[in-house]
Amino acid sequence: MAYVKPGNPKLIVDLNKLRHNIEYVKRMCAKDGVQIAGVIKGCTGLFPCVEQFERAGVQFIGSSRLEHLAELKEQGVQAPLLMVRIPMISEAEDVVRICEYSLNSELATLKTLNKHARTQGKIHNVILMADLGDLREGWWDKEEMTDVAEIVENELENLHLAGVGVNVGCYGSVLATTEKLQELVDVAEKIEARIGRELEIISGGATTSLMRIMDGNLPERINNLRVGEGILLAYDLPTLYGYDCSNMHQDVFTLRAEVIEVKDKPSHPIGEIGFDAFGHRVQYEDRGIRKRALLGLGKVDYGNPAELLPRMQGIQILGASSDHTILDIQALADQGKEIMVGDVLEFDLSYATMVYLTNSGNIDKVFI
């Protein structure tokens, strides 16, 4: 067993708040006839979190990482599992063994999945991905996509063509507009015309597609969304796009970190300036002598310190090295608020800091 230090820093996960967010998004989508895949890669598939998705009765539980899904399978999760990163050929056998569904964009991989499904005596369900301009996974050539759909339908006997999907807002920052998602429906209907039946699933993207549900302009036939961030953090839609998410909790996750030093120090380094611990040249602002605090965690734990969000007003994050985080707390001192060694400060998380912290074996996770 790996040593996980009890105490600080720790990540507190409020499962009731998470459950509320899942139920809220599920209900909002259900009004438009949309079911959701709960995407749990953002919290590294932490099992108590996954249980909340399962109890809420989501259509699928999805992750980009087979190791998350393997773990859930082992723990007895019954919900259908969806591999959301198109599979490597080398993991095709495990994808079939572990997941009921996968997203795909390569015929060679589909053939390999089919072969393993036959060996394992299974029918594996596939969703074919269309690239509509975000330029990550999916067929750009929709004629070729339709041809492959026909091959899956008629020749790959151990695969079931469950539907089509799209991903936007990841690499290319493309918005999930009504027009964009209608293009997906058009692709689906082209495939349906070719294979002579309806597809069960038209999966219209991730968290950013929730904006279409909130605006009431999601194309009629989209009936699935794969949602992670919009449930786990509910941060991007209100903060980046100005949508009202006041009925959801933005504080499912709390990072608690302990103060290990408090001192008045100059704000500009003293000496000849070279490179920081990560080999970068850094500009330092000289604001004279300021009160600073150090926290006993660093970049190894959360990635980028600028993406930690202090709950307490008046704390400015100056920077970090691997295992130390440096705060300017002069504004607090000016208000007469004293921070002392041993105090614990709380932070909200961004998507990236959540991914790092939940992945870290050194962070004690506490579920409340």
Ligand X SMILES: *Cc1c(COP(=O)(O)O)cnc(C)c1O
Interface contacts to ligand X, rule CB under 6 A: 39, 41-42, 64, 84-85, 103, 167, 206-207, 226-230
Whose Cβ is closer to ligand X: residue 84's or residue 293's? 84
Residue position matching structure tokens 């007895």: 76
Q: At its nearest, how many Å lie between ligand X and the CB of residue 309?
A: 18
- 98 vs 206 by CB, closer to ligand X: 206
Alpha helices (H) along 101-175: 107-119, 142-154
CA distances from 159 to 112, 195, 364 (A): 10, 14, 41
Question: Catalytic: 41?
Answer: yes
- Start-end of H helices in 206-348: 210-215, 229-232, 236-241, 299-302, 330-334
Closest to 176 (Cα-Cα) out of 215, 231, 145 = 215
Compute the least distance from the CB of residue 165 to ligand X, in Å: 8
* In the complex, minimum distance from the CB of residue 233 to ligand X, in angstroms, rounded to a whole number: 9
**Cis before 269? omega within 30:** no
Pairing of strands 101-104, 81-83: parallel
**Is the C-alpha dihedral spanning 149, 150, 153, 156 positive or negative?**
negative
Instruction: Kindly state the smallest distance separating residue 161's Cβ from ligand X, in Å.
Output: 18
246: alpha, beta or left? (left if phi > 0; alpha if psi -120 to 50): alpha
User: For the chain, how many residues are written?
Assistant: 368
- Least distance (Å) from ligand X to the CB of residue 170? 7
Residue closer to ligand X, measured from CB, 241 or 284: 241
Which C-beta is closer to ligand X: that of 9 or that of 205?
205
**Rounded least distance, CB 93 to ligand X, Å:** 21
Nearest residue to ligand X, scored by beta-carbon proximity:
228
Amino acid at residue number 282? V
Closest CB to ligand X among 145 and 294?
145
C-alpha distances in angstroms, 365 versus 69, 211, 362? 20, 31, 9
Q: How far apart are CA 305 and CA 309, in angstroms?
A: 9
Of the residues 26, 41, 299, 365, only one is catalytic, namely 41
The residue among 282 and 352 lying less far from ligand X, judged by its C-beta, is 352
Q: 3-state class of 60 per DSSP?
A: strand
Q: Which two tokens stand for residue 268?
A: 């500009």
Q: Which residues are catalytic?
A: 41
